[in-house]
Amino acid sequence: MTGAVALATGSVASVAPLSPIVAQVTAIEASLLAFVVLTALATAFARDVLAAVIVFGAYSLGMAALYTFYRAPDVALTEAAISAGVTTVLLLLTLAKTTRIDHDAVFESVNLPAAGAAGFLFAGLLLTMGDIPAIGSPDAPVWSNPEVTQWYLTETYAQTHVENTVMAVLAAFRGFDTFGEAVVVFAGGIAALIVLHREVFA
């Protein structure tokens, strides 16, 4: 019937019953995850800002592929367009307008307190991993509760006459929130004008 519902049910049907998480990781998924982690580390440790910006763009592209792999195409589109595309361009533009200090070393030296804080946070997040349901698990609360997710999936087409549940939630069920978000984007443009003491964009 509806594309989004078919997509969502497809993701559940294709995943085998619960088994250890490692057994479910496919080669594509593992390589994407490794790529994302490596580019994230490279972004943090690259000494040259231009290199960091470019590697960050690659990281965003990897995240977009990962979102697509996890069947979140709306998020993947946003990540690819905004994060990999627009943000990289704006950062490059900023670099071109500022002085870039060039370095002989490729990687930043590790700041031990910062690394300790990051490691502490990482360990804390790892502790929560045990309670997260497996990817695509039919028992995951976000999927199995009939009051929220299933209600939206069944009622979207009946009430809003569109097939994309994500858009129905954004534009109809949570339309007022989206209006606020759009106004925030608009206000962001105005704020940039004010900060830069300008009255025209172009």
Binding site for another protein (CB under 8 A): 3, 50, 73-74, 76-78, 81-82, 85-86, 89-90, 92-100, 102-105, 109, 159-164, 166-168, 170-172, 175-176, 178-179, 182-183, 185-186, 188-189, 192-193, 196-202
CA 184 to chain centre: 20
Query: Shortest approach of another protein to residue 130 CB, angstroms?
Result: 32
Q: Which is nearer to another protein, 104 or 131 (CB)?
A: 104
Nearest to 8 by CA among 174, 163, 191: 163
Q: Which is nearer to another protein, 25 or 90 (CB)?
A: 90
Query: Shortest approach of another protein to residue 56 CB, angstroms?
Result: 14
What Å distances lie between residue 101 and 45, 105, 107, 112, CA to CA? 16, 12, 14, 23
Query: Shortest approach of another protein to residue 123 CB, angstroms?
Result: 30
Query: Shortest approach of another protein to residue 74 CB, angstroms?
Result: 5
Q: Which is nearer to another protein, 26 or 109 (CB)?
A: 109
Q: Which is nearer to another protein, 33 or 95 (CB)?
A: 95
Q: How far apart are CA 107 and CA 102, in angstroms?
A: 12
CB 18 within 8 A of CB 137: yes
Q: Within 98-133, where are the H helices?
A: 112-128
Nearest to 15 by CA among 140, 193, 188, 201: 140
